[in-house]
Amino acid sequence: MIRFLTAGESHGKALSVIIEGFPSNFVLTEDYINEQLRRRQLGYGRGGRMKIETDTAEILSGVRFKKTLGTPIALKITNNDWVNWTGKMTPGKKTTDVEKITVPRPGHADLVGVSKYNFNDIRNSIERSSARETAARVAAGSVARRFLEEFGITVGSFVESIGSIYPGNNFLTKLLSNKLPKNFTGWQLSVKADKSPVRVLDKKQEAQIIDLIKEIKKKGDTLGGTFVTVATGIPVGLGSFVHYDRRLDTDIASAIMSINAVKGVEIGSGFTSAASFGSESHDEIVIRNDKITRKSNRAGGIEGGISTGLPVIVRGAMKPIATLMSPIETVDLATRKKVMARRERSDFVAVPACAVIAESMLALVLAKHMLIKFGGDSIEETKDNFKMYVRKLDKRIKKNFYKRK
């Protein structure tokens, strides 16, 4: 069973993360983690902070000679911006005058944070609620991703929409119909999406989105959007129907919803299915090449809380960034008078980054469930358990049911 905890404020010294529960002996390098951290920083429409940071992780423990030890893995991501904030964010004695923030931004954690934690400065809410924390999650997610690769499982994503601009030909439809190229992998999707500055798969849509972002930047507004995360190579049988908290879809929904600004999660064709007939919603079971499979994948790779062996398809909705350069109405807590919300450096759009973070969260959930089912102390032992199960799957169904006439 894996666990991880992140620590760090947006403008503090560093972000850190401790990940525990992975087996020994699989290869893990800083370069591998850094490649994923770099992907999180991309996307047309990001704010000034991404020009300051070049996120890199330092492995502090848990790895020796490029291989995991089975011990807690501790990672550190230094905040380059810290040098500009030392006086304002010092854990020590206050030595300079620091202006208190008293105007909460609607849609941000500003107001709920000061209410709940009894702060007299909104800065205290902003720092930990910032999406900067997701850099630490992506670092943790890369460990999970590296582990999953050992089993041929890959995770990828693309941006489906920004604002109301959807692609003419939505790849999600192809995914749900289960009509995919033979050796299709989740990661292939990311390779393609990463070539687009807004991580979409459709060139025409890309141009429309970039125009829209330019327009809203001028207006001082922001945008949200939807993204699709896909994992392939997953065996039948991760998760369980025996308890609500052992279902694979429970964990996936929670993990995606936990990402800053995400307000909706869907597995497979969830919301569309709700408006369709049963006969149009479920995936017919067929035998192809002597293997039991399904004609379509509207279930998004999960039935009864258990993986079906088909790609896991998760769609998320991200609300527009809450910090607006042309702000909306709020109240100054110092005067209790109506004012316009405070401007603060921020992103205009962060859906491309959100999709990369969703890949990391999905990888962490899948790694957890792989370890629940196949977990050994070393990667060799875990792989043996996995291979034995997969090899016997079809044979067992045949043995239990099939009566040759």
Site of interaction with ligand EPS (CB under 6 A): 10, 47, 49, 81, 130-132, 135, 321, 345-347, 350
Q: Which is nearer to ligand EPS, 127 or 303 (CB)?
A: 127
Decide if 77 contacts 56 (C-beta within 8 A).
yes
> CA 352, CA 112: separation in Å to the nearest integer?
27
Q: Which is nearer to ligand EPS, 248 or 259 (CB)?
A: 259
Token pair listed for 353: 């980054």
Q: Between 132 and 247, whose beta carbon lies closer to ligand EPS?
A: 132
Whose Cβ is closer to ligand EPS: residue 48's or residue 152's?
Answer: 48
Residue 26 CB, nearest distance to ligand EPS (Å)? Answer: 28
Question: In whole angstroms, how close is the CB of 402 to ligand EPS at the nearest point?
Answer: 53
Phi-psi region of 197 (alpha: psi -120 to 50; beta: other; left: phi over 0): alpha
Q: How far is the CB of 358 from ligand EPS (least distance, A)?
A: 14
Q: How far is the CB of 25 from ligand EPS (least distance, A)?
A: 32
Confirm if 36 and 190 have CB atoms less than 8 A apart. no
Determine contact, residues 235/304, Cβ cutoff 8 Å. no
**Please, what is the minimum distance in Å from the beta carbon of residue 81 to ligand EPS?**
6
Which among 267, 23, 258 is positioned nearest to 137, based on CA atoms? Answer: 258
Q: Which is nearer to ligand EPS, 55 or 160 (CB)?
A: 55
In the complex, least distance from residue 132 CB atom to ligand EPS, rounded to whole angstroms: 4
Which amino acid does the sequence have at 253? A
Residue among 105, 163, 132, 128 nearest 347 (CA):
132
Nearer to ligand EPS, 16 or 308 (CB): 16
Q: Give least dist CB 346 to ligand EPS, A.
A: 5
Report in angstroms how near the CB of residue 268 gets to ligand EPS at its nearest. 29
Q: How far is the CB of 157 from ligand EPS (least distance, A)?
A: 16
Q: Work out how close the CB of 350 gets to ligand EPS at its nearest, in angstroms, rounded to a whole number.
A: 6
Q: Tell me whether residue 231 or residue 324 sits nearer to ligand EPS (CB atom).
A: 324
Residue with Cβ nearer ligand EPS (263 or 345): 345
314 touches 300 (CB < 8 A): yes
Using the minimum distance from each CB to ligand EPS, give the nearer residue, 49 or 294: 49
> In the complex with ligand EPS, which residue's Cβ is closer, 128 or 192?
128
